[in-house]
Chain A
Amino acid sequence: MGSANSYKCSISGAGTRPETDSEEELPKQMGIQRPRSVTPLIFICFAISCLDSTSSAQIGTNYGDSDEILNSDHIPASFLCISDQYIMQSYSTTHTSLEDSEFRNFLFLQECSRKDTDIVVPAISLLQQHRNITGEGSHRTLHTSIKLLVQSDSHLRELVIVERLPLGVFADPFELQNLKQRRAFRDVSVFGDTNLELPSFRSNRSVVEIHVDISSRDYENGEITLKLPLHARYQPLEESGYSRVEFGEPDLFLCSSHVQNRQREQRKCMVLSIGGLKTETRSVVWEIPAGIRDHTEYVSAITFAAAVLSAFSILVASVLSSKVESCKNSKKS
Chain B
Amino acid sequence: MKLVDFRNLLGFSMLLRVFLIVYGEWQDTHMEVRYTDVDYMVFSDAAALMASGESPYKRTTYRYAPLLAFLLIPNSIFHRSWGKFLFSASDLLVGLFIRIILKQRKVPEKICTYSVMVWLLNPFTFTIGTRGNCEPIVCAMILWIIISLMRGNLSQAAFWYGLVVHFRVYPIIYALPIILVLDSQIFRSGQKPPLEDWNTGQAKTPTSNTENKIFHLNLLTALKSLFSRERIRFGLISGGVFLACNAVSFYFYGHEFLHEALLYHLTRTDPRHNFSIYFYHIYLHYERQFSAVEKLISFLPQFTVQFALVFSFSQDLVFCIFLQTVAFVAFNKVITAQYFVWFYCLLPLILPWSRMKLKWEGLLCIILWIGAQTHWLLWGYMLEFKGYNVFLQLWIASLVFLAANTFVLVKIIQRHRFSPLFKRYESSAVKNVTKLE
Contact = CB atoms under 8 A, between A and B. Distances in A.
Contacts of B214: 322, 325-326, 329
A23 B284 contact: no
A295 B305 contact: no
Given A25-B32, A311-B305, A314-B305, A295 B402 contact: no
Q: How large is the interface on A (under 10, 10 to 19, 20 to 34, 35 or more residues)?
A: 35 or more
A304 B297 contact: yes
Interface string B374-415: 000000000111111111100100010011011001100110
8 contacts: A21-B38, A22-B33, A174-B45, A236-B287, A287-B387, A292-B389, A318-B309, A325-B418
A241 B283 CA distance: 13
A23 B34 contact: yes
A47 interface: no
B369 interface: no
B327 A314 contact: yes
Please provide the 4 A-B residue pairs with the shortest distance between their CB atoms, ordered closest to farther: A311-B301, A289-B389, A137-B385, A241-B389
Contacts of B284: 237, 291, 293, 295-296, 299-300
Contacts of B395: 299, 303
B292 interface: no
A198 B281 CA distance: 16
Contacts, number: 177
Given A304-B297, A306-B277, A330-B435, A201 B416 contact: no
A19 B308 contact: no
A28 B308 CA distance: 60
Given A199-B286, A322-B312, A329-B213, 17 more contacts: A20-B38, A25-B32, A137-B387, A139-B385, A290-B389, A296-B284, A303-B280, A308-B300, A310-B331, A310-B402, A310-B406, A311-B302, A311-B331, A314-B308, A314-B410, A318-B413, A326-B214
Interface in A284-332: 287-293, 295-296, 299-300, 302-304, 306-308, 310-311, 313-315, 317-319, 321-323, 325-327, 329-330, 332
B271 interface: yes
B385 A138 contact: yes
B191 interface: no
Nearest to B284: A296
Contact of B287 (A201, A318, A332): A201
B216 interface: yes
Nearest to B307: A315
Given A241-B389, A318-B309, A330 B410 contact: no
B414 A321 contact: yes
B280 to A, nearest CB: 5
B61 interface: yes
B309 A314 contact: yes
Contact of A318 (B271, B286, B312): B312
Contacts of A310: 301, 330-331, 402-403, 405-406
Interface residues of B, number: 68
B144 interface: no
Contacts of A131: none
A305 to B, nearest CB: 10
Nearest to A314: B305
Contacts of B304: 311, 315
B384 A17 contact: yes
Interface in A161-187: 173-174
Interface string B31-63: 011111110010001000000000000001100
Nearest to A24: B32
A292 B391 contact: yes
A219 interface: no
B272 interface: yes
Interface of B: 32-38, 41, 45, 60-61, 206, 209, 212-214, 216, 270-272, 277-278, 280-281, 283-287, 297-298, 300-302, 304-305, 308-309, 312-313, 323, 327, 330-331, 383-392, 395, 399, 402-403, 405-406, 409-410, 413-414, 416, 418, 435-436
A248 interface: no
Contacts of B32: 14, 22-25
Nearest to B274: A19
Contact of A194 (B60, B389, B399, B405): B60
Contacts of B272: 197, 234
A50 B298 CA distance: 65
Contacts of B416: 321
A333 interface: yes
A313 B410 contact: yes
Given A22-B33, A300-B281, A196 B60 contact: yes
A136 interface: yes
Q: Which of A21, A196, A327 has the most CB of B within 10 A?
A: A21
A195 B60 contact: yes
A304 to B, nearest CB: 7
Nearest to A236: B287
A236 B286 CA distance: 9
Interface string A252-290: 000000000000000000000000000000000001111
Contact of B312 (A242, A302, A319): A319
B410 A317 contact: yes
A18 to B, nearest CB: 6
A289 B281 contact: no
Contact of A303 (B60, B271, B278, B387): B278
Nearest to A18: B38
B384 A137 contact: yes
